[in-house]
Structures are given as C-alpha cells and as structure tokens.
Amino acid sequence: MMFSKGEYMERLQQVKIEMEQRGLDALFISDPANMNYLTGYDGWSFYVPQMVVVFLEEEEPYWFGRAQDVNGARATSWLSPCHLLSYGDEYVHSKVKHPMDVLSIWVNQHKKKIKRAGVEMEAYYFSPRALKCLESNCDWITFVDAHLLVNEVRMIKSDREIMYMKKAGKIAELAMQAGCDAVKEGARVCDVAAAISHAQLSGTADFGGDYPAIVPLLPAGVLTYAPHITWTDEKIKSGDPVIIELAGCYGRYHAPLARTITAGKPGKVFKNLSTAVIEGIETVLDQVKPGLKCEEVEQMWQDTIARHGYCKDSRIGYSIGVNYPPDWGEHTASLRPGDQTILKPNMTFHLIPGIWLEELGVEISESFVVTTNGCELLSDFPRYSFL
C-alpha cells in the first residue's frame, strides 16, 4: 500500500465527520480518486460500475466492483476480504441488467436501517442509470447529492502525499525536458508527444512514473490558440510556437507543468505575451501564502497582466492531487473571482494562467504546495518561452 492503514483511517474519520454534519448514514463513492484515497484501490477498472461504500456505523468501508477485479482490490487496498463485494460478468455492459442491482440486493439484506445516503452525482463514472437502480431497489433510502464531500477532505495533503507529489514534480521536469529537446524544425508533433510519454513512464533511476490522468497536450503552430488540442503528425516549422502541457505522476499523485517554446526566432506578439505571462506567474508565486483567498491570488495576476494590456476571463489555477483519467484536478478550489476558499498549508495547486488570443496562445504553468509562510514549487524548470 502507498500509505499506512493508520493514514487511511484518519482520512475515513474526516469523511465520517462530514457525513454526520450532512446527516448521512452512508456514502456511495464512485469517483476512482476518492475510492483510492479512502482504500488504496488502484486499477484501470473505472470503465465499468464500481464503488466504495462508507457506512457511518462501521469502521471499515466496502469495495464493490467486477468479480475479476476483486484480486486487484485485495492487492492494493487495506480492506478485509469480507468487505470486498462483487458482481458477475453477465452484468458488464448488459442491456437488461445493471451492477447496481447486485449492490442494491446486498444493501437490502444487510443495511435496512439506512435512511439517508449520499452519492456523487457529478462524478464522471456515476451514471443516471446507476442512480435509478439504487433509488428503485432501495426505495426506503433517500439519496442526496454528496458531490465533492471526499474531494474537499482531500485538499489538505499529508506529508507523505506531498512527498509523492514532489516525486511527480521531478518526473514532470524530465518529461518537459524531453519534450523541449524534441521540438525542432522539421520534427513531427507526434514524435514530441512520444518523447514526453516515454519520460513520464520511465521516471528516474530511483522511481518510475505512473500514467497521468491527461495525455500530453501539444497545440503547435496556428493551433496554440486552442489550449486543449493534443497532437498531430504535422511537422514543426521555423518560428512555430509549441505549447507543452503535461504532468508527472507517481502513485496516482500529479504535478502538472506547462511551457510554450518556439523552434527558432519567435515573433514580437509572442514575445510580448510571454513576458506578461511570466511576470504574472512570478508575482503570484512571490505573494502566495496561507490566509489568502483564491480570488485574491487571481486578482494579483490580473493586476500584473493589465499593465501589459492583457486580461484573462478564465480561472488561473485549481487544486490538484491524486486522480485518474480524464482529469488531474480535484474539482474543489479554483483561482478565480468569487472563490472564497482560504489557502492553508499543504494545499496543492496547479497555477496555469495561460492567455489565448485569436491567433496564438502562451501557456506557462507551475504546480506548488502552500507552506507555512509562502509556497514551494513541485518542479524546477526554466520558464523560457523560446529556444
């Protein structure tokens, strides 16, 4: 296991405190990151229904998933064998059966006293059909939205979590260097992606890398105005800007990193935009500290880039940590106007204040952990915007 049983129990206790405050007898968790956070379970099985169920009255949660994945739960979680529940393969992608029918029958047999239960209604892998099955088969339970309950507990990291994120940050450095080295006139963008992916998985001589929740994002040339483009097989031309956004990942913990570079001499607009973005980042990182609100951090950025004649109408960052595809963000705090979240030590963020104009974009980012009196970067990589 990645953590001691004691740390998992501490996490579970914090979740139960939140459950009590919301009047929940049970919590049905389908977000794979939250499942991992509470039990350690780690497997590429989220393409079929699965859950971790926490009952307020019981010390240990239950894992529920496909029968062939039970051994994976035994291998990676701290749960007792009797707390591993499963369904047969006849329920996988069936038009007439659903795995939640099996879970509902078990709840009916063992947990008739449950009156109010939370479900993650906004989780990527929790479907309307799954909720319908639970509601129809357990009609004595009132199901309410408990989206982000566990996510919010996850925001403040343990020292061991920070250690894993620093390892991810080191992998991000190596992957970014591999990407920058591959950006040359005449090189195909897909080959840049291949170099990055190799470095992400190889990691260092001391520790290997994990697969990140998001593939390398590589808008190149005229496509840099579109931030979430992946890659093409087009060749890079002299002076082309290339955005590289990636993450190092270790034990499912992420440290994202973005840079924008050019193969050859950059244009004037690109240089001016890069200067504004870098100055904004440096201003924010110099002033981040516990006690600030997320919206105050964003305002520092806006004030800085305004002096260069720019503005940005999207958030400049978000909380990060343990996660699975399709996203490495925690979906809780965002560095944007109106977010009143107060920064606390051991919160971790991806500061990604890119600016995308109609004809090009510049994206430079840093991942950081809030410390007792400021912040610490998870990666150390030059912020240059051209080679």
99: preceding bond cis by omega (within 30 degrees): no
Residue 355 three-state SS? strand
Residue 322 three-state SS? strand
Angle between helical axes of 294-306 and 268-287 (0-180°, round to 10): 140
Report d(CA 187, CA 193) in Å as an integer.
11
- Residue 235, token pair as written in the block: 């060749």
Report d(CA 350, CA 369) in Å as an integer.
9
Amino acid at 185: E
pTM score: 0.96
Contacts of 141 (CB under 8 A, 6+ apart): 26, 107, 114, 115, 116, 117, 134, 135
Burial class (CB in 10 A: 0-12, 13-18, 19+), 372: exposed
**pLDDT for res 386:** 55
The CATH number of domain 159-377 is 3.90.230.10: yes
Domain boundaries, the chain: 5-154, 159-377
Residue 339 three-state SS? coil
Given this chain, do its domains 5-154 and 159-377 carry the same CATH topology? Answer: no
> Could you tell me the CA-to-CA distances from 71 to 44, 74, 322, 331 in Å, in that order?
13, 5, 22, 30
Report d(CA 79, CA 74) in Å as an integer.
7
Q: Give yes or no for a contact between 12 and 146, defined as CB atoms under 8 angstroms apart.
A: no
**pLDDT for res 387:** 47
Q: Give yes or no for a contact between 340 and 295, defined as CB atoms under 8 angstroms apart.
A: yes
CA-closest candidate to residue 244, choices 286, 189, 288: 189
**Neighbour-count burial for 179-188, b at 16+ CB within 10 Å, e otherwise:** bbebbeeebb
Could you tell me which CATH class the domain 5-154 is placed in?
alpha beta
Please identify every stretch of the chain with a pLDDT value under 50, giving residue numbers as ranges. 387
Using one digit for the tens of pLDDT, what is the confidence trace for 70-99?
999 999 999 999 999 999 999 999 999 999
